[in-house]
Amino acid sequence: MDKTVREQLLELAEENYQQFSSSLIPTIHNVLGVRLPLLRKMAKTIAKGDWRAYLKHADSDYFEEIMLQGMVIGYVKCDLEEKLRYVSDFVPKIDNWSVCDSFCIGLTVARKYQERVWDFLQPYLRSKEEYELRFGVVMLLHFYVDAVYLRRVFEKLDTVQHDGYYVKMAVAWALSVCFVKDADSTLEYLKISSLDNFTYNKTLQKITESNRVDAETKKRIRAMKRKRS
C-alpha cells in the first residue's frame, strides 16, 4: 500500500533540523523538520502524477505540507491561466517568509509570460495583507529586475505602505537586487524615494552585504544612511 504524503513527511522529519528550522521561522509552530531538497524531490514526483487530485485534497496542517504544495505548483506543466488559478488559491496559505520565498522562486513561468504575470501581481502589490504583499515584492525581485521593468519596479516598490517587518525586508532585498543590476538607476531612485527610514536603511545594509558590490561603493552607501527620527 502506498504511503500518504504525510506519512512520507513524518518519515523524513529530523528532530535536530526541526529545531533549526523553527528557530529561523519564529512566527510559526508547525514545523516537522524535513530538509528542502527532500521536499523538492517529493514535489517533482507528485508533479509527474495526478497533481490536480493531490492539490485538491492536500493537507495544510504542517509547514512542510504547505511548502510542498507551493513547490508542486511551480513544477507542474499546464496552461498558464490554470497555473495562475492555483497560485491564487495558494497565496492565502502563505504565513511565513520561507514558504513565500520558496514558492516565488519556483514560479519560473513568469520569465516566459512576464507581462501577463506582471498584471496578475498588481492586486498583491496593493494588498493590506503582509504575506500577500511580500509575495508580490519577492516575485518582482526574482523576475522583473531587468532593463524593461526596472523603472516600473521602482514605482511599485515606492507605493508599498505596510508596517509588517517581512514586507519592509522584502522591499529592502528587492532594492539591493536592483542596485546590483543597475547601481546608477537605483541610487537615483533612492535619492527621491518615499521609503520609510527603516526600509531605506535596511536597503543600504543589504547592498553593503552583497559580495557583488566593491569596498569603495559600500563605503559610499554607508554614508547615505538616514538618522532615525
3-state secondary structure of 196: coil
Q: How many Cβ atoms sit within 10 Å of the Cβ of residue 144?
A: 22
Cα-based angle 199, 202, 204 (whole degrees, multiple of 5): 115
Bin 140: left if φ > 0, else alpha if -120 < ψ < 50, else beta: alpha
* Confidence grade of residue 229 (pLDDT, cut at 50, 70, 90): low
Chain CA centroid to CA 171, Å: 11
Phi, psi (deg, nearest 5) at residue 96: -160, 160
Bin 214: left if φ > 0, else alpha if -120 < ψ < 50, else beta: beta
How far apart are alpha carbons 68 and 73 in whole angstroms? 9
| Helical axes 183-192 vs 150-159, angle rounded to 10° | 30
In this predicted structure, the answer to whether residue 34 has a pLDDT above a threshold of 60 is: yes
The mean per-residue pLDDT over the stretch 163-171 comes to: 97
Helix (H) or strand (E) holding 180: helix 165-181
Which pLDDT value is given to residue 1? 47
Which pLDDT value is given to residue 31? 96
Nearest Cα to Cα of residue 108 among 125, 83, 82: 83
**Spatial CB neighbours of 224, under 8 Å, sequence gap ≥ 6:** 190, 204
- The model's pLDDT over 174-196, given as tens digits with 9 standing for 90+, comes to 999 999 999 999 999 999 999 99
Which pLDDT value is given to residue 221? 96
- CA-CA-CA-CA torsion for 226, 165, 128, 94, nearest 10 degrees? 150
How far apart are alpha carbons 167 and 220 in whole angstroms? 26
In this predicted structure, the answer to whether residue 96 has a pLDDT above a threshold of 70 is: yes
| pLDDT top residue among 26 and 86 | 86
Cell reading at 67: 511548502
- The model's pLDDT over 114-150, given as tens digits with 9 standing for 90+, comes to 999 999 999 999 999 999 999 999 999 999 999 999 9
Query: Rounded mean pLDDT of the chain?
Result: 96
In this predicted structure, the answer to whether residue 63 has a pLDDT above a threshold of 90 is: yes
pTM comes to 0.95
